[in-house]
Structure 1
């Protein structure tokens, strides 16, 4: 299997489907088209029965989050927020175990997409920030729902209200990542060695199935209102 796109590409590595954010020049920021490609790659992986999907970034970043230059041209920013939330929900609920291999910065929406993965594995160079607050925005791809469940409410408020950057060690300490290793892909290989039916059964039992629909709708609408003010600042 070769590259499916130039911005979100899919390839096979050691028989494991690897989905890559592949725009290193913009630190793998995600455009609306990229969300569509990511959604397609995940649905295809589920349809063909892949047991494990490895999600990572090309170059020196995992994912810088939403591509705000692309968002600026949209007539409906709330639709973009809803689309991102839908893709994050797909990551969280699809049958393959999704492993995020995080090397370098994960910011904003990049953190949120990683939060939706079953496992987040970092290299020592990985860093994390929910940096939207510094632009007068916030993460609208399910982050306000998932982050406190993973790291606790206090840590979630600290990261989201400050926008500060944390390193891999602190991320592991608060539970944002499970392991730190030089090659996160090895963890995907480790998981794929297990029977697929067991992987599916375990993830279905452990995943939190709480209803976040209302939260995502509220996030999308608030994001649109906040982005409207952010866009006005750009125009000045």
Structure 2
């Protein structure tokens, strides 16, 4: 379900269930978290096999949870949701920079996992939707938190309440993706040429949701660490 290949400075993580549009089961979520957080490479490239990025949660798993609830076990819902949230959190907080390469459909939980990545790079064939409201649910793997942070409240409400499908051009306009290119993996490979420690500090500082004062203190500490790490080279720096 999750295939991992280490290729130089990039760990390639493939969601590998093309017959199910790379939909994820609990085992798949756990394996995805381990694949991303266990990377020694400075960059992780996350993509889907076949013609889709990710359809989100496997509907058979959702059906099983619903069946448990119908039988009186309302506690069956929280572990399922929490696991998806934990996986998205693991992607977001990973030491490596995580690049989502989105080619084809990203739906529901697939969009939520992409939102947790540091960069979302689409091909012209990519499409996106949060269709939960059309069948009585919504994206609960951190989607209601990250989507408005990434695209703004207006577009987040539009996407979530309508369930409509948007193409790569529209996703770029609203900031859901940062680039539309023919080969998203090439972006990950370009990033791998940069300093790994600097990128780790950058993603943590830019993602920090603390107070302004705390973020500025953390910025100073991170910059000091980088200067110390590269003091010898910086002595020769002439701008």
TM (norm. structure 1) is 0.83
**1:68 is aligned to 2:62:** no
Alpha-carbon distance in 1 for matches of 2:64, 2:110: 20
1:188 corresponds to which residue?
A: 188
Residues 11-44 of structure 1 show CA distances to partners (whole Å, capped at 9, x for unaligned) of 1235410111100001001111100111111221
Structure 1: how far apart are the matches of 2:44 and 2:97?
A: 6
Correspondence for 1:24 among 18, 35, 49:
18
Partner residue in 1 for 2:214: none
Q: What CA deviation, in whole Å up to 9, does each residue of 1:136-191 have, x standing for no partner?
A: 00000000000001100000000000000000000000000000000000000010
Instruction: Report the equivalent of 1:53.
Output: 44
Higher RCO (C-alpha 8 Å, min separation 6): 1
Q: Secondary structure at 1:73's aligned position in 2?
A: helix
Distance (Å, rounded) in 2 between the aligned partners of 1:63 and 1:106 = 5
Deviation at 1:70, TM superposition (A): 2.1
Q: Distance in 2 between matches of 1:17 and 1:36?
A: 17
TM-score (structure 2 length as normaliser): 0.82
Contact 1:133 1:160 in 2 (8 A): yes
Asked if structure 1 preserves the Cα contact closer than 8 Å seen for 2:9 and 2:42, the reply is no
Residues 47 and 53 in structure 2, CA contact (< 8 A), matched pair in contact too:
yes
Provide the residue aligned with 1:146 in structure 2.
Answer: 146
Q: After superposition, give the CA deviation of every residue in 1:183-216 in whole Å (9 maximum; x if it has no partner).
A: 00000001000011111111111114369xxxxx
SS of the residue corresponding to residue 64 of structure 2 reads: coil
Distance 1:128-1:208 versus aligned 2 partners, 3 A rule: farther
Report the secondary structure of 1:72's partner residue: helix
- Contact 1:32/1:71, CA 8 A, preserved across alignment: no
Which of 34, 37, 54 is equivalent to 2:31? Answer: 37
Tell me how far 1:93 sits from its aligned partner.
1.0
Kindly indicate whether the alpha-carbon contact (under 8 Å) linking 2:37 and 2:91 is maintained by their aligned counterparts in 1: no
Gaps in structure 1 of 5+ consecutive residues: 1-6, 212-236
Q: Which residue of 1 aligns with 2:103?
A: 103
CA RMSD across the alignment: 1.4
**Which of 1 and 2 has greater Rg?**
2
2:178 aligned partner: 178
> Equivalents in 2 of 1:72, 1:9: separation in Å?
26
Residues 209/93 of structure 1: CA separation in 2 closer, same or farther (3 Å cut): farther
Show the counterpart of 2:156: 156
Shift of 1:8: 1.0
Contact preservation (8 Å) 1:63, 1:110? yes
Q: Aligned pairs, how many?
A: 202
